[in-house]
């Protein structure tokens, strides 16, 4: 087996994303701006061995999302996704 494969999947970002959003985004469907693949955020490849989290498209490896939490500020870059859609919170 290849021991160098270091990514996890979008599920593992659920906790950090929940600090910003009040809906679960792991089940949300998004589209990669680079290759056009539509998929669940949970299926993205997530790299955690870096300052913050980087999610990449499982098909083309394009960066979908970057999330850095310095403790004082949270930085979120989602320009790799054309959209992200999920059901709203029902009260």
Partner 1 sequence: MAGTEVLGRVSWRTGKVVALHDETSTARTIALVVSDWPGHIAGQHVDIRLTASDGYSAVRSYSIASAPNSDQRIEITVERLENGEVSPYLTQEVMVGDEIELRGPIGGWFVWRSDQTEPIQLVAGGSGIVPLMAMIRSRLESQSNAQFQLLYSVREPAAAFYKDELEAISKRGDSLLLTYAFTRITPKGWPRPPGRIDAALVSVSVWPTDLAPTCYVCGPTSFVEHVNGLLIAAGMDRGKIRTERFGSTGERK
CB of 84 to partner 1, least distance (A): 13
Residue 11 Cβ vs partner 1, minimum distance, rounded to whole Å: 5
Are the C-beta atoms of residues 57 and 34 closer than 8 Å to each other? yes
Q: What backbone torsions phi and psi does residue 54 show, to the nearest 5 degrees?
A: -130, 125
Nearest to 62 by CA among 50, 73, 54, 51: 54
Residue (40 or 62) nearer to partner 1, CB = 40
Closest CB to partner 1 among 25 and 63?
25
- C-beta of 11 vs 34, nearer to partner 1: 11
């Amino acid at each position: 087996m290849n021991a160098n494969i270091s990514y996890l999947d979008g599920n593992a970002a659920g906790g950090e994303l929940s600090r910003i959003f009040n809906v679960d985004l792991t089940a949300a469907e998004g589209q990669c701006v680079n290759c056009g693949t539509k998929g669940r955020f949970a299926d993205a490849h997530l790299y955690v061995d870096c300052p913050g989290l980087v999610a990449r498209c499982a098909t083309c490896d394009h960066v979908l999302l970057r999330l850095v939490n310095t403790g004082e500020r949270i930085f979120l870059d989602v320009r790799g996704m054309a959209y992200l859609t999920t059901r709203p919170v029902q009260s």
